[in-house]
């Protein structure tokens, strides 16, 4: 079957809730993917940072296959021999007392919300059903009805109400707005340390430190969604480490499994985790043996292969190079580590056409918020490979809109 036939099947039989590039991938290895017609591409999206360790990493694959032959699922009605060691490894690696495993990122966000609310009622003493959680414009924490209810993106909300109360949206990066919003009923501040879907928005220096101090002052929890920003993406294990703080709850997912299997979790100390008792919260698949084995291997790869340090070094070089690009289209280059947003001027005509041009040059990126090209390769990428990718980006971004067809002519992939 050809690309057009696969696209037609998706369009005919699938819900139209995504607008992907029309490339049909059938195989991946490391930073590379191949489509159904044999064309090779460098993946500069890494499945929204889920594939930090690269496609089909052999060490993670081996853990998946080996455990799948041994034991796959017991539910949490029984214990299994992989969960405890996974807890211990992740806890020691991150410095938090306890782990609560789930499957998807959105599930982990919902878990953090429940933990924060119950902590507010049972520990802080907020009157029942009066707890409020402060959230931020431009946020993206998932797609459940509770989560989209506190999104500032109207499309995410339209047609899905009524929504869960108890959230207040504040301007991202505005410390004074948070200070003014604090009151005794605030259970938590829920925030992405860098906004991914929002366009790789990096808050002002010191912002997270201010939030940490403010949460301490009002005895509220600081909850950081590190589903995309965590696990090496920004050149640290977690993005909050750039400001030298420690949150009360950390939400992790995506690269926690290296892209092989849905695994997510929240990390917190005993004061927060001890609010949960048997029957309060759970998941049939959360913490299953395969998930525990795969996540352990994925974390070991990050550490053993020095991928976090590579992200820091190569990311700094890439951001500096892109900021030096003389392009009529580029408004701003933002990022940290190997997580880069290239915001285009409105008159450039939108980022989609540039991503399509890059596709024809053997590079896969994806637009976000119409005018931003997101660059987030697997962290295993080597300097020579990144240099080649940047050359393709530079070629496309220095072309005039009417020249994009010429600029997108297929080139020999490195």
Per the structure, the count of domains in the chain is 1
Q: Give the CATH number for residue 252.
A: 3.40.640.10
Question: Which residues have a catalytic role annotated?
Answer: 140, 225, 254
3-state secondary structure of 222: strand
Q: Please indicate, yes or no, if residue 113 is contained in any of the structural domains.
A: yes
- Radius of gyration (Cα) for the chain, nearest Å? 22
- Residue 105's domain comprises 80-304
- pTM over 0.75, yes/no: yes
Give the residues across from 33 on adjacent strands.
28, 41
Domain annotation covers residue 220: yes
Q: What is the mean pLDDT of the chain?
A: 96
Q: How far apart are the first and last CA of the chain?
A: 27
Assigned domain for 91 exists: yes
pLDDT per residue as tens digits for the range 332-363: 999 999 999 999 999 999 999 999 999 999 99
pLDDT class of 270 with cuts at 50, 70, 90: very high
Residue 69, domain member (yes or no): no
Confidence check: pLDDT of 411 > 70: no
The tens digit of pLDDT for each residue in 66-115 reads 999 999 999 999 999 999 999 999 999 999 999 999 999 999 999 999 99
Residue 7 lies in a domain: no
SS3 (DSSP) at 360: helix
**Chain segment 168-213, per-residue pLDDT in tens:** 999 999 999 999 999 999 999 999 999 999 999 999 999 999 999 9
Q: Is residue 410 part of a domain?
A: no
29 domain-assigned: no
Q: Where are the alpha helices (DSSP H) in 234-288?
A: 270-273
Residues 6+ apart with CB under 8 A from 407: 357, 361, 395, 396, 399
Assess whether pLDDT exceeds 80 at residue 116: yes
Query: Does residue 255 form part of some domain?
Result: yes
Do 260 and 47 contact (CB within 8 A), yes or no?
no
């Amino acid at each position: 079957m050809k690309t057009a036939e696969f696209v037609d099947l998706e369009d005919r039989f699938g819900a139209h809730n995504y607008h992907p590039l029309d490339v049909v991938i059938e195989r991946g290895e490391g930073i590379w993917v191949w489509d159904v017609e044999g064309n090779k591409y460098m993946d500069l999206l890494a499945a929204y940072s889920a594939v930090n360790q690269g496609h089909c990493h052999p060490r993670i694959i081996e853990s998946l296959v080996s455990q799948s032959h041994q034991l796959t699922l017991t539910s949490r009605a029984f214990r299994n021999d992989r969960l405890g060691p996974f807890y211990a490894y992740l806890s020691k690696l991150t410095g938090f007392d306890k782990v609560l495993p789930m499957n998807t990122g959105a599930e982990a966000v919902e878990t953090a919300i429940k933990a924060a609310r119950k902590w507010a009622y049972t520990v802080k003493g907020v009157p029942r059903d009066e707890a409020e959680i402060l959230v931020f414009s431009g946020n993206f924490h998932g797609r459940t009805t509770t989560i989209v209810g506190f999104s500032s993106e109207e499309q995410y909300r339209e047609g899905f109400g009524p929504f869960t109360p108890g959230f207040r949206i504040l301007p991202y990066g505005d410390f004074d707005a948070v200070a003014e919003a604090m009151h005794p009923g605030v259970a938590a501040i829920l925030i992405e340390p860098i906004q991914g879907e929002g366009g790789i928005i990096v808050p002002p220096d010191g912002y997270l430190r201010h939030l940490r101090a403010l949460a301490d002052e009002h005895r509220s929890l600081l909850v950081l969604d590190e589903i995309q920003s965590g696990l090496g993406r920004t050149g640290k294990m977690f993005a909050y480490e750039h400001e030298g703080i420690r949150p009360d709850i950390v939400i992790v997912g995506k690269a926690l499994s290296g892209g092989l299997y849905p695994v997510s979790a929240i990390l917190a100390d005993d004061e927060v985790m001890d609010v949960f008792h048997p029957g309060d919260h759970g998941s049939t698949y959360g913490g299953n043996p395969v998930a525990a084995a795969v996540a352990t291997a994925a974390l070991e790869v990050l550490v053993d292969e020095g991928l976090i340090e590579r992200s820091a070094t190569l990311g700094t070089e890439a951001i500096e190079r892109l900021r030096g690009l003389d392009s009529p289209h580029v408004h701003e280059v933002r990022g940290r580590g190997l997580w880069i947003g290239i915001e285009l001027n409105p008159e450039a005509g939108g980022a989609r056409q540039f991503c399509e041009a890059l596709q024809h040059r053997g590079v896969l990126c994806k637009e976000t918020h119409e005018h931003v090209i997101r660059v987030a390769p697997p962290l295993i990428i080597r300097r020579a490979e990144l240099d080649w990718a940047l050359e393709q980006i530079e070629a496309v971004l220095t072309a005039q809109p009417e020249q994009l067809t010429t600029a997108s002519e297929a080139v020999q992939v490195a």
